Structure 1
């Protein structure tokens, strides 16, 4: 029966991926219903802690956006890129990585991709080169950011095994950075030079695009409150990192006669609420804009997706754990890299690092995988680029008016494939090397 139930889960994932967005969570709910009402599986507990963490982080990021903080970050990005146009294939992905790392969401890439495309074209650099690896970098940073939804999910799952935020970041930050550098080394040599590209020359000749020129448009002035909102948000992120890496900073409580340290789940939630409230009181953003902004909408959509996917996945795994252990445990524990493959392909379907984390890490725990193997494999949750349907991939193609960034005739031969694969493989390989030392 396990294979029939697994088939139901896979069909649900494919159905959800076909329409995308919030429907992934809805489809997972249908799959859960089939497992419970038709196959008689006992429903597991829904992932409440992870959902609440994500909601708190999304609230803070949405408040930052409403206060103008995101616009300020984009302005900083443009200044950095324009000062280093000749090295844009290396600078742009690092900027994308840094901004996602600070904000906890890859949505910031939507704002900086047009800047990357414009600066590359003005500098005579083939836009496909920085665009492709920057999109990859903007997502890899999610597995390093202390305030991303995926990090919150992983911390909640691995905390009982003594793996905290400090250990995860000590592995994932260098692993993802080295992986991005490796991807950049490939991307900077992709394709013909822009001045020799036939598609670009055709568009110029037919007047489909204007000749490149130095931008003279003055950037809109950023208010002091917008700047201060960024300072507050970064302060919140730093506080979370400190409390995660230095446990004695968190308060102790007496519970049933035992001294218990406040969990990182509650720490993240409380700090994000505090930062959100301070931003509202000092920076005075429009409260309606907080809930109507793109960050809030994307974040809440992610919560629904995780709700359905994680609950369905937990139910399948919990009810079939004896069978899974008997038939899969020896293979996976002997070849832990296979777990990374599972993370990669599931993330390609769900298009969510947090949902994939919440779906598969419990399986790894149930199989008895060591924490180091799961943390080392974790950057593989960024396999969203494999099927070129994710929003930032499509946006990158749209923003590149030269036509160099593209989705190929055979779909999978797109601009992001090779840089993404190189980055992911190097991230996981470096992660295993570091994890064997740190954990």
Structure 2
């Protein structure tokens, strides 16, 4: 019976990931139906708190984008990159890391990819170098952002164990930053110089790309042109204000996460003092930030639901709804067997669980779904919370198979052809920086958690 149930789960992950979008969530729901109606498993509680936290954060981020705030951030990033083109392999991942850290989603990297591609070609730097590590940094920052779906999912699991948001961030932020820096260092001399690259020179000869030094502004490429179109609908002053209000919301989440004693509290009917939990703090603060942005900038509420960030975020909510509910039900229904099989292994070598998280993230294409689906198992078999925090960056494995949207976008934006998928699929531009950044972040995370937690 266990083998058949496991096969159902694996098939759901496979077909859900192939469908993409909300397909992962609804296929997870179908598998849940098979497990409950077909095998008689008792369904666990759906991950309502995680879903509501993600919805609140995504809504606030999408409102900022609609108000033009994302365009303000893009212009600032473009100026920084153009001033230091020779150091772009190190600056580009810093930009995408900060964007994701503040926005809570790696999809904001799309906005600066055209800038990275254009600046590198003009300056003669091989675009593959900064493009690849910039994408990896946008993924690593998910596990360092206080408002990302993955972080709030982990927080919801660890809060009952007495671990709060600062405990996660004081390990994950330095670990992922150093990991990305090492990845950038490795990529800084990777591959041939652009001027010597055969594919680039072939494209120059056929006229599909301009040579080094020449200015190019494609119809879709320039972040400046993209921002001009969108900010025409709102005042620049309002766009800047939306950024300020959004960042204040992020700081509010970090503040209440850092000082639990300052959260609202009350005495329940049984006389027990209750304190407002972090899930509710995230939901209230980010919804309030979104409301203030709408009121202050008069951005169109109707356009928020059609924005790219809102669409991607709501897909994540549905994906987590189905997959996490299915995973919880399967693990809880078979916990006795699973616990006996792997407890000794992960206790003796906790890094094996990090490997399991990495593999699961490849299948799910979602850090949050991986956290919600597998981290409860780690807690159940006795892995200490500090070790789980150290392993948190290992959920960034979806670069491994080059089918994630940010990976595909980076390949398409690099018109020189240096950022590519290799002949054997897995020998692509993102493999080396991804492995270096992830392994380094987890290794450094174990060191930091042992010292700080």
TM-score normalised by the shorter chain: which range applies? over 0.9
Match for residue 55 of structure 1?
A: 55
Given the alignment, which residue of 252, 261, 266 partners 1:239? 252
Aligned to 2:111: 111
Structure 1 position 18, deviation (Å): 1.4
Please state how far the C-alpha of 1:404 moved relative to its aligned partner: 0.1
Q: Within the alignment, does 1:159 sit opposite 2:159 as a pair? A: yes
- Correspondence list, 1:25-424, <5 A: 25-212=25-212, 213-214=214-215, 220=228, 223-255=236-268, 256-424=270-438
What's the secondary structure of 1:384's corresponding residue?
Answer: coil
**What is the rounded CA distance, in whole Å, between the counterparts of 1:348 and 1:324 in structure 2?**
21
What runs of 5+ residues in structure 2 fail to find an aligned partner? none
CA RMSD, Structure 1 to Structure 2 (Å): 1.2
Counterpart secondary structure, 1:331: helix
Distance 2:381 2:80 in 1: 46
Q: Do 2:117 and 2:127's aligned partners in 1 also have CA atoms closer than 8 Å?
A: yes
CA deviation profile, 1:77-116 (whole Å, cap 9, x unmatched): 1011011111000010011101110111111111111111
Q: CA deviation at 1:4?
A: 2.1
Contact 2:210 2:216 in 1 (8 A): no
The DSSP-based 3-state class of the residue aligned with 2:112 is: helix
User: For 2:347 and 2:59, how far apart are their aligned partners in 1?
Assistant: 39
Aligned-pair CA distance for 1:211: 2.7
Show CA shifts across 1:53-75 (max 9, x none).
Answer: 11111110110111001111111
Q: State the shift of 1:428 in Å.
A: 0.2
State the alpha-carbon separation in 1 of the partners of residues 399 and 199 from structure 2.
Answer: 24
CA deviation profile, 1:4-48 (whole Å, cap 9, x unmatched): 211210111011111212101111111111111111111111101
Any stretches of 5+ residues in structure 1 without a counterpart?
none
Helix, strand or coil for the counterpart of 1:253? strand
Aligned residue for 1:292, secondary structure, equals coil
Counterparts of 1:277 and 1:249, CA distance in 2:
23
Q: How many residues align?
A: 439
Q: Deviations over 1:169-188 (max 9, x none)?
A: 00000000000011001111
- Higher mean alpha-carbon deviation, 368-377 vs 214-223, is at 214-223
Deviation per CA, 1:245-296, whole angstroms, max 9, x where unpaired?
1112211111220112211111110001111110000011111111110111
TM-score under structure 1 length normalisation: 0.98
1:3 deviates by 2.4
